[in-house]
Structure 1
Amino acid sequence: MDVLQLFLFFLCVLHLTLSGTLSKHLDHRNLFTQRACCKRQSHFVYIGQDISGSPVSVDVGMCRSHCGITTRSSQEARHQEYSKHSSMLEFLRSKKMRTRGPAAPEIPDHLNRLPSCGADQLCEPTGVRVERLLLFQGPREVEVIEECQCEIKLSQCIRVPALRTYYFQTPYEAVIDVGGCSRSKGAEGGFSCVPTKFDSALLETPNKVDVIQTVAACELKESCYRIPYIEYYYETVHHADGVREERLKEIDVGRCLGGCTTGSRCLLRSPSDEENCLLWSDRQSSSCVPKGYESHSFINPHGQIRTVLSITSCLCQN
């Protein structure tokens, strides 16, 4: 074998070695792997008790944005085990009394951190249905994620479509675009893309027609913010010439939206991994309250002075 043949043989070996090494690191970047890794993952939320007093937890789902091995089967087994108990306290007591089994095998860190979507994409829900449940406290609606896929990450704050399926698999099944806001962040810290204008859509039901609130417009605001909310009143005005006029008075009383997250909503954590929450509470700490206000006084048609307060600003309450 001469020198030229040895050189060609060396190039072939080098090419095969580099191809195999690069394929291991770049395989997760191809289109098929991106779509396969952006998928729905179980996410159980405890929402309360049903009319019989039994605990109710719903798999609302979440979109998994990283590739790697999941431990969903073991988590689902724990949730099924929890549903057999009458309360969270009883479940924790029975869990403490049992002997712990072998810890679950640890997942290599690099497998969990491989991105499933491109740098300019997000793993977002594409199919969401609204479940109506009858709880002890009354009827409750819960949004359940059905499907996920990679969506383009938007740089501007705009309204985006958000389809919701109501009365799933019934004669009244309907899909409504309730709308949402892109996940854009403002130039300054603490600002997010949030809904500021709303609309409504009519939904036919077996009992009556429901009004569904939809998002009409979005803006960059702080986490706790004020939105306009118009109310109309009749007022009586007495002019200098003695003429009495009754007219419509418009007042923007305002509303406070957003929330101020405090504390943890995790009800049960994995004994082998404290960062892994097995059961969540859907109750969010929302304490966005009015900060400033102003008063509007006028004479109503009965000749009485009426005062209406309107919100001028909002803040997070400690």
Structure 2
Amino acid sequence: MICMFFKLAITFLFLDISSGRHTPWRLRPRLTESLDELDGDEEQIRNVCCKKMKQTLFIGKGSDGEDIEVDVGVCRQSCAKKAPKIKKKEFERLLKETEPGVNPIELFLSLRRNDVFNSCLPGYTCSPSYAKLERYYTIDGALDVPIIDSCQCKKSLSDCGVADKPVLFFSGTPFEQFVNLGTCQADAMCSEDSTCVPTKNTTLSIEGPNGIQCVEVIEECGCRPSCYRASKLENIYDYTDVDIESDKVKPELQTIDIGICVGPCNLPSHKVKKCVLRDPENPKRCLSSLTHRPTGCQPTSFKTHYYMDKHGNSRSVLAIRHCSCK
């Protein structure tokens, strides 16, 4: 039956070519709906294709001198969408529902096509569902290694912002708990000379098998150049407006953003000269210079905050305003 169908289809094709006419192959709406029914599991297939793949990482050597390698995992597209097998009765039904001008060969091939596409729908990325920290002991000490548990399609951010990053701490112990550490969306819309990076962090205290542990959590992200100023908060007690001789002392708690310089700098590894004294009559002429090695991303300007301690002494705190490579 199938052989007869192909012979008939090829005969129709040659008759059409020999007549010198080009018949546009059109599909009726009913046929389009039928094709959608066959491909209706697209979103499910995409999520299935977003899988955790193996990625081995060397973390150190054990007490026996052997290398310790851990499969930390990576989220990648793992398959292509394949059209389901077409049953004979289903194909005959679709063929009857089409217009007379539809090419049977094109219809058959369209139902048998294999479409390769991204593992997630537009606006989504294949990302870890969550990661868990597992502790390994090397000759250099204990290491907490984040390991991807599973992957799924997650909605991407259109702007630079904080995305969820759940991490399971103290897995396999009575203290295990999830903490959303946050992450800056890597594919956010930033200019060519900047990237989406953390600009403000905070710390959480969580209890584990070995006592209290501080965990850093990302609060804000922004588009910044390679060397940039990130927020770092410092709490101080100011006694300026307090009677320090009084028994009931209630100092003012101030939170100051002292800042921190973060990021790499493409600086030369050799020492460079910096002119410290120039000829007044010829500024281009250097009379004295100092040789130093570039230090990287460093503060370039500061702001001073003043306060008074419990003993009445005037104190000051320097807050970084700008950073640059130098």
What TM-score, normalized by structure 1, do the two folds share? 0.57
Letter in 2 for 1:49: K
Q: Is the 8 A contact 1:226 1:256 kept in 2?
A: yes
Separation in 2 of the partners of 1:58 and 1:259? Answer: 28
Query: Partners in 2 of 1:261 and 1:145 — Cα distance?
Result: 32
Identity among equivalent positions (%) equals 30
Could you list the runs of 5+ residues in structure 2 that have no partner in the other structure?
Answer: 1-7, 14-22, 26-30, 81-113, 242-250, 268-294
Q: Structure 2 CA distance, aligned partners of 1:32 and 1:201?
A: 37
Q: Paired residue for 1:60, among 59, 72, 76? A: 72
Distance 1:162 1:247 in 2: 35
Aligned to 1:161: 164
Contact 1:65 1:122 in 2 (8 A): no
* Bigger relative contact order (CA 8 A; separation at least 6): 1
How many Å separate the matches in 2 of 1:198 and 1:121? 26
- The question of 1:141 aligning with 2:120 is answered no
Tell me how far 1:148 sits from its aligned partner.
0.8
Residues 228-264 of structure 1 deviation map (CA, whole Å, 9 limit, x = unaligned): 22335567879xxxxxxx98776532112344699xx
Establish whether residue 196 from structure 1 lines up as the match of residue 199 from structure 2.
Answer: yes
- 2:175 is aligned to 172
Aligned residue number for residue 319 of structure 2: 310
Partner of 2:271: none
- Is contact 2:47–2:119 with CA below 8 Å preserved after alignment? yes
Aligned length: 230
**Alignment equivalent of 1:212, drawn from 203, 210, 215:** 215
Q: Secondary structure at the match of 1:290?
A: strand
CA separation of 1:37/1:260 partners in 2, compared to 1, >3 Å: closer, same or farther? farther
- Which residue of 2 is the match for residue 293 of structure 1? 301
Distance 2:213 2:77 in 1: 35
CA deviations 1:141-183 (Å, max 9, x no partner) are 2111111112222212232221111121222221122222223
Equivalent position of 2:260 in the other structure:
255
Contact kept, 8 Å, 1:288 with 1:314, in 2: the verdict is no
CA RMSD of aligned residues (A): 4.2
CA distance in 2, matches of 1:174, 1:302: 43
SS in 2 for 1:175: strand
CA distance in 2, matches of 1:10, 1:300: 97
Greater C-alpha Rg: 2
Partner of 2:99: none
* 1:36 alignment partner in structure 2: 48
Within 5 Å, which residues of 2 pair with 1:14-25?
A: none
- Of 226, 229, 242, 2:229 maps to 226
Q: CA 1:247/1:189 → structure 2, altered by over 3 Å: closer, same or farther? A: same
Partner of 1:71: none
Going from structure 1 to structure 2, the CA distance change for 1:251 and 1:158 (only over 3 Å counts) comes to closer
Residue type at the aligned position of 1:173: E
1:269 corresponds to: none
- Structure 1 unmatched ranges of 5 or more: 1-5, 69-110, 239-245, 263-286
- Shift in CA distance, 234/132, structure 1 to aligned 2, threshold 3 Å: same
The structure-2 alpha-carbon separation of the partners of 1:8 and 1:221, relative to structure 1 and needing over 3 Å to count, comes to: same
Asked whether the 8 Å contact 2:259–2:319 carries over to 1, the reply is yes
Deviation at residue 64 of structure 1 after TM alignment: 0.9
- Please show how residues 92-107 of structure 1 align to structure 2 within 5 Å: none
**Secondary structure of 2:175's partner?**
coil
SS of 1:171's equivalent in the other structure is coil
Q: 1:315 to 1:142 in 2, by over 3 A?
A: farther
